[in-house]
Amino acid sequence: MEKVAYHFALMNPRLSVTGIFRNALDTSRSLLLITSLAALGCQSNDTPAVATPQAPVGASEYPEGSNQGLRLPFSRILGIPGQATRAALPSPSQAQPEITAKAAILIDEWGWVIYEKNADQRLASASTQKLLLGILIAERGSLNGTITIAEPDTWAEPTVMGIKPGQVYTRGELLKAVLIRSSNDIARALARDHSGSVSNFAGVMNQKARSLGMTNSYFTNASGLPTPPGQYSTARDLSKLGLAALTKPVIRDAVSTKVHTFRFSNGTTKTLNNTNQVLKHFPYCTGLKTGYTNAAGRCLISSASGNGRNVVAVILGSTSPAVWSESAALLSYGLGI
């Protein structure tokens, strides 16, 4: 924990490994990993927190047609520097971090569990589910194609960019903005453009979630807001989502961006500061997605690279600033630093 406190005290860190996930990669490799991600699940365990690896889920739990025999880490498949074989778990001398959030999980790049607490408890996931939006938009492609903003796109709150009906933007610039600043009006615009309506898009989200092995999640919108009601996910499912998101170069670029300038159609600009405080102050963090609603509390899917390892942590139902310090503590524990 002392190391974590030290890293959090660093402002504007310079880190060589933060570019690990930024290498441009061809689409075929990304598609290959999506096929394999269904094989990277983990068995649940009644013990709230464990430090021993959990075996991947059995073949009967994989979506039909998935490649059940392929169990490779995303770094190896994509050619990202990392372990060719599974890295050793943290040594017994490393104390497990104390997590006060309702639920949490820490996995390595193979999808194996390093730590978990209530990982299968159904909870609201808030804007962390925008990573699923990002995957669907990235896979549809045509990111240089344009979207004309419609009136229903602007029916959003409380976090909005302020786009107006009739304005025209590329899908790529809207996708980057929504992953950095989590604007709900942009999420609505991207969902409508993709599937014709937000409700139709929610159905596509649920299909995609199942294909990723997220069997304990249900979504009703693209933003993570509590209306329509009935949304839920789990820390375990969201860790699978985090791994899947990291296979998309356009998503890795966006979630690792600390500050971005968004240009409106009328020429005015807005500076977007990434909502992920761990990215700003923990030098090994490579990004991913925040979330907050009154019902969900503070939520965060975060990733980190270092010491020859790549890890993903999920925290649900936390408070500020605990969500940042506890996420950093999990990432540090997983990297063995």
| Integer Cα distance of 332 and 335 in angstroms | 5
Q: What pLDDT does residue 84 have?
A: 52
Q: What pLDDT does residue 131 have?
A: 98
The catalytic residue positions are: 127, 130, 182
Residue type for position 54: Q
- pLDDT > 90 fraction of the chain, expressed in percent and rounded: 69
Q: What pLDDT does residue 99 have?
A: 97
Q: What pLDDT does residue 139 have?
A: 96
**Beta bridge pairs of residue 273:** 259
* Higher local confidence (pLDDT), 65 or 191: 191
Judging by DSSP bridges, how do beta strands 309-318 and 297-306 pair with one another? antiparallel
Looking at 54-63, 235-244, 247-256, which range is the least confident one?
54-63
pLDDT of 1 higher than 70:
no
Q: H or E stretch including 298?
A: strand 297-306
Residue 293 and residue 126 in contact, taking contact as beta carbons nearer than 8 Å: yes
Radius of gyration of the chain (CA): 19
Q: Which domains occur in the chain, in start order? A: 2-335 (3.40.710.10)
Phi first, then psi, for residue 276 (nearest 5°) are -85, 100
Q: What pLDDT does residue 42 have?
A: 34
Q: What pLDDT does residue 8 have?
A: 44
pLDDT of 323 higher than 90:
yes
Q: Encoding tokens for residue 236?
A: 């375990």
- Per-residue three-class SS string for 167-186: CEEEHHHHHHHHHHHCCHHH
- CB-neighbour burial class of residue 171 (10 A; exposed 0-12, middle 13-18, buried 19+): buried
pLDDT of 326 higher than 50:
yes
**Smallest Cα–Cα separation from 98: which of 55, 48, 52, 53?**
48
Phi first, then psi, for residue 58 (nearest 5°) are -70, 165
| Integer Cα distance of 331 and 285 in angstroms | 8
Q: What pLDDT does residue 29 have?
A: 39
**Smallest Cα–Cα separation from 24: which of 82, 72, 78, 81?**
78
| Integer Cα distance of 87 and 310 in angstroms | 9
Q: What pLDDT does residue 82 have?
A: 53
Work out the mean pLDDT of the chain and round it to a whole number. Answer: 80
Q: Encoding tokens for residue 271?
A: 């500076």
pLDDT tens profile 117-174: 999 999 999 999 999 999 999 999 899 999 999 999 999 888 899 999 999 999 999 9
pLDDT of 183 higher than 50:
yes
pTM metric for this prediction: 0.77
pLDDT tens profile 45-99: 333 333 333 333 322 232 322 222 334 455 554 445 555 556 666 655 578 999 9
Looking at 54-58, 85-89, 234-238, 307-311, which range is the least confident one?
54-58
